[in-house]
Amino acid sequence: MSNDPQFPSDDYLRRIDQAVAQSKPLQDWLVWRSSQDGEVLSKRMLLLLESLKAQVAAKRWVQDPLLAPYLPMVLRAWALRESSNLKSLGVLEPWYRLLLKEPAGVLGIVSRFYYPLSIALASMLLFYFLSVSIVPTFKAMFDDFELRLPSLTKWFLQISDFIAHQPVSVLASLLFGILAVYGLVKLYSYAMDRLEGNSFISFYRRGTKKSLGSMARWTGTMAELLAIGAPAAQALATAGIASQRPYLNLQSQRLSRAFESNPKTTWRAQGSSTSFAGSSIAALELHQQGTDTTGVLRELAQSYAERWNCRANLSYVWLGPIILLFVAKFVFFLVLALFMPLIGLITSLSG
């Protein structure tokens, strides 16, 4: 049953269908907004536009993980349907950036890592030049004088031979290392998602860009579904799906089921409510008492979306100095390894 007596329990599905059917202004705004960026339509944009044009059924919008995140934008645009001016939809700008901007592809990742990658590439070229041009000269000198070489010198000569004679193997090793680092990053993200129930992990991720984005989607979906009379439990379940955050989705489903089994209990008294922001739970309790909390939840969602837009992506500029430090140490040990036998030769000749 809906918590709002002015709407039948399934009337919200009909309203979603209406929002989709009357989404032509939103479609025009999305195409116009994308043209302002001078970019081709992203896969996310194409998915949303095709779903709106095909008038996908309401139940898919509330259950499909691919479509649920766009509900705040679709329903908010429908609420502004009386205005035909595209500029009136400018309030959706944070949602456009949050939901429809394509994640960085290969070129985007390369641009973010441009500085450390440039230094790494220059370093590899330097090592290759030393291995094929400089080190062989010293090796020939050592062989001519039949010098007894220290372990450090032998090690560098072996590395130099490998780089000079097995460049394909070196490149394969580098590619494997890059893939290994990429896999570790993905594994780290997966592990953090699955371990977010831990209080330390939850505290560590609080306020991050990813956390702000998921809370914007969660709160925005709650606001718009409650505004069209969706049952609070259903709105909560769909908000969890729309959040695109495994832990938040899991807690949303638990809280939704708990409230459905005991709808007279306050939201704060439900065990899973501690996993959510206190302001969101307070808004749900006011809604339970019959107060319209759409405006409050919309403001919260807008705040999360704007903070997400202002939060800078993680910078990797710090990798450059670290790579330079390793290059400097490598060059130092290389010079030391090459000149140690010569110093020993000069010392023996002078003696």
Tens of pLDDT, residue by residue over 149-206, are 888 888 888 888 888 888 888 888 878 877 887 788 778 778 877 777 777 777 666 7
Alpha carbon distance 305, 159 (integer Å): 51
Alpha carbon distance 333, 90 (integer Å): 59
Which phi and psi angles does 37 have, rounded to 5°?
A: -80, -10
Q: Six-digit token pair at 234?
A: 């259903």
Alpha carbon distance 260, 242 (integer Å): 20
Q: Six-digit token pair at 137?
A: 């000269």
Tens of pLDDT, residue by residue over 279-289, are 888 888 888 88
Tens of pLDDT, residue by residue over 10-23, are 789 999 999 999 99
Alpha carbon distance 255, 243 (integer Å): 15
Helix, strand, coil shares of the chain as percentages rounded to 5? 75, 0, 25
Give yes or no for residue 253 having a pLDDT over 50.
yes
Quick check: 34 and 45 in contact, CB under 8 A?
Answer: yes
Domain boundaries, the chain: 11-103+206-310, 108-194+318-350
Q: Six-digit token pair at 162?
A: 């490998």
Predicted model pTM: 0.73
Alpha carbon distance 264, 267 (integer Å): 9
Q: Six-digit token pair at 124?
A: 């590899």
